[in-house]
Every structure is written in C-alpha cells, then in structure tokens.
Amino acid sequence: MIAIFDIGKTNKKFYLFGQNYQILHQEEHNFAETEDEDGFPSEDLSAVAQWVTSTLRAAKADRRFQIKALNFSTYGASAVHLDDHNRVVTPLYNYLKPLEPQILEQLAQHHGQLEQLALDTACPMPLDNLNVGLQMYRLRCLRPDTFDRIHVSLHLPQYLSFLFTGVPTCAKSMIGCHSLLWDFDHDKYHPWALNAGVTQKFVPIRACTSAVQKGEMHIGPGMHDSAASLVPYMVSPSAQPFVLLSTGTWSIAMNPSNDQALTLDELRQGCLKYMNYLGKGVKSSRLFMGQEHEQQVNQIAAHFHVQPDFYKTVVYQPELAEQLGTGSTQPQAPAHAEGAWLTMRPTARPQRPTMP
C-alpha cells in the first residue's frame, strides 16, 4: 500500500492506495489556526505534525494495512525554518499575510526591478508573501537575529518527510512554484536569491522521484500539491495534450503543453508557472475561488444564524433554480443587507482569469 498525506490550506487528508491505485482508506481533518508573533492567523504546524505522525502510526499498527511507500503533497509558499537542533524557529507564516511595503522597496533597490524579477521567476504580480523567497527576505530584513538562527529551511512537504526520515531535502517542485527563487530561463536559483543569502538556508536539490528507505517503507521527499495533481495524467500511456482544472483554496488551470514565456500582462492578471515533478515549467492561471466560496458561505451562515456547513444539507429545489436561471422572479435581499461584493475587501474579489 501507498500512504499519502495531502495537506491543503483548508483540508488535511490521508489516503491509503492499493497496488492499482484504488483508495482503500481515507481520513480528513481540519485544524483551528493559531497566530504568529504579529497576531496574524497561521497554520498550527505542531498540531499538523502531530496528526501526521499519529495517523501514520495508527495505520501501520492496523494489520489490514501493509504500507510500503509514503509521500506528501502540500500547498505552496510554506517554509519551515529549523535551528541547528532541528527545532522550529518561526511560525509557519500565512501567505495571505500582507507584506510590508518597505520590503519590496528594499528588494527593488538592492536586487533589481520587481517586474523583471517576476518575469524571470514566473511569479504573479503583485509580489507578496505568496512568494516564499520574499517571506525569507522579509525575515532577513526585519528579524535578522531570527534569520541567523535558521540552520536549514524546508518547504512544508519536505519537512513532513523529514519527520520520518531525519534527512533534510529540497524538492524542485516547491522551489519552482511561485517562490521568486527559480530562474526559469537558466534553470537555476535566481541571482537575487543567491546575493541576498536566502538560498544558503536550503539543502541541495533532490529529484521528486527520489526516496529514502526506512525499514520496508520508501519515503518520498514530497511535492507541491499542484505539481502532484499533474502526475497521473503525465505518466498515463495514452497521455494527450491537456489542461488540468484543479479546485481547492485556489482554482487553477494548468497547461503542461504550453511552454511559452509569460508576459507581464499575464503576470498582472494572476498567471504564473508551476513546476511539474520532472522540473519543467507549467504555464497556469488561477482564481481564488475556494477562499471566495468560504467567505461567502460564512457570510450567509452568519446572516441566517446557521452552521457554516449548512449548504451540505440544503435540498435542491428545481422550481427555485428555474426562477433564478430565467430571471422570472427577482429575489429580494433584506433591506439591511448589502450586496456580497460590497462587503468584501477589494483584494479578496476574484478577478477574471487569463487562460494559459
């Protein structure tokens, strides 16, 4: 059997696959967020790590399961910083956390035009904490003592793998996904990251197809969840050119067959490149639809004083759907309720995506 942990920003899942890749067992868990040193919501890394280790321990103890392989996929822009005793140094920073304007000003002053950096590294504009390279640069600028304490930085899937192997790794699929670290034209770390001392915290890069053997179990280094979603379609014997639509916190359209360079206009509209498990760029577009769905559900739940999962048991009413679809009956909002778009932060509104 193959054990997989799929750590999304909202949902954390565990799967056991059989030899024919059929799902034999699955679990799902959600964690309450904690706060970083500035009071901004952040992932409860300790709780996630404890759940991952205890869940695998329980699966291995179950005589129905004989686990031969283990791997991980997680969301991006997630770095775990360890000291020389392998203790976590900082919170797992939230990529939604606003980036201080002076960080971008310093980056532009010392390391080049921001738009050119975005083009070189295939990162969407504007640059922010969605780029793990900027997260680390921020630490170096604002908290240099903390940055100096970091012995090694691991992307989240590699940290989860490290919990079981004790071997720190660095996978290309994470470095190449909106990190501001990877120069796609030259297939190496971008000079700005080298000159800023950011890359010195990483261990040498290993292939996503590598593994560490622990007893009878082979443990992979993990990969970015978007890169992982492409794998079944890329390895299929009958694979044809395709665009993969992936849903989650982000809704993403990935086109592995489009190798054209991104334009600045595409970057400004939220397009970017991910990196597949072979280390090749994948032109993509994205829409913050999962986050938008969560915000709208919470807003409706609060208005009607119901639980946030109310929509899972709503009975379909075809006559109401027909009225809404034809516009024959215009639903009236309560007099005190504003339109949903008016109550949202402008930055949270989904923009029309550009297809890759």
* pLDDT (tens digit per residue) in 219-244: 999 999 999 999 999 988 877 889 99
* pLDDT (tens digit per residue) in 122-140: 999 999 999 999 999 999 9
Same domain, 9 and 139: yes
Same domain, 200 and 310: no
* pLDDT (tens digit per residue) in 150-175: 999 999 999 999 999 999 999 999 99
Residue 259: other Cβ atoms inside 10 A: 11
Across the chain, mean pLDDT equals 89
In a domain, 279, yes or no: yes
The tokens of 17 are what? 């696959």
Secondary structure of residue 312 in the 3-state scheme: helix
Q: Are strands 41-42 and 34-35 parallel, antiparallel or unpaired?
A: antiparallel
Cα–Cα distance, 22 to 173 (Å, whole number): 25
In a domain, 172, yes or no: yes
Of the candidates 240, 264, 287, which is a domain's last residue? 287
Same domain, 304 and 192: no
Same domain, 275 and 304: no
Same domain, 299 and 261: no
CA-based R_g, the chain, Å: 22
What CATH number does the domain containing 129 carry? Answer: 3.30.420.40
Q: If pLDDT is split at 50, 70 and 90, which confidence band does 356 have?
A: low
67-71, 247-251, 340-344, 348-352: least confidently modelled range: 340-344
Same domain, 271 and 316: no
Of the candidates 287, 308, 338, which is a domain's last residue? 287
Percentage, residues of the chain above pLDDT 70: 91
Q: Give the CB-side neighbour count of residue 124, counting CA atoms within 13 A.
A: 20
Same domain, 117 and 180: yes
> Quick one: pLDDT at residue 260?
85
In a domain, 355, yes or no: no
pLDDT at 348 over 80: no
> Quick one: pLDDT at residue 74?
97
> Quick one: pLDDT at residue 352?
44
Mean pLDDT of 313-337: 66
The number of folded domains in the chain is: 2
Mean pLDDT of 247-264: 88
In a domain, 315, yes or no: yes
pTM (two decimals): 0.84
Domain interval for residue 159: 2-287
Q: Are strands 2-7 and 69-74 parallel, antiparallel or unpaired?
A: parallel
> Quick one: pLDDT at residue 250?
82
Same domain, 100 and 216: yes
Same domain, 322 and 205: no
> Quick one: pLDDT at residue 270?
86
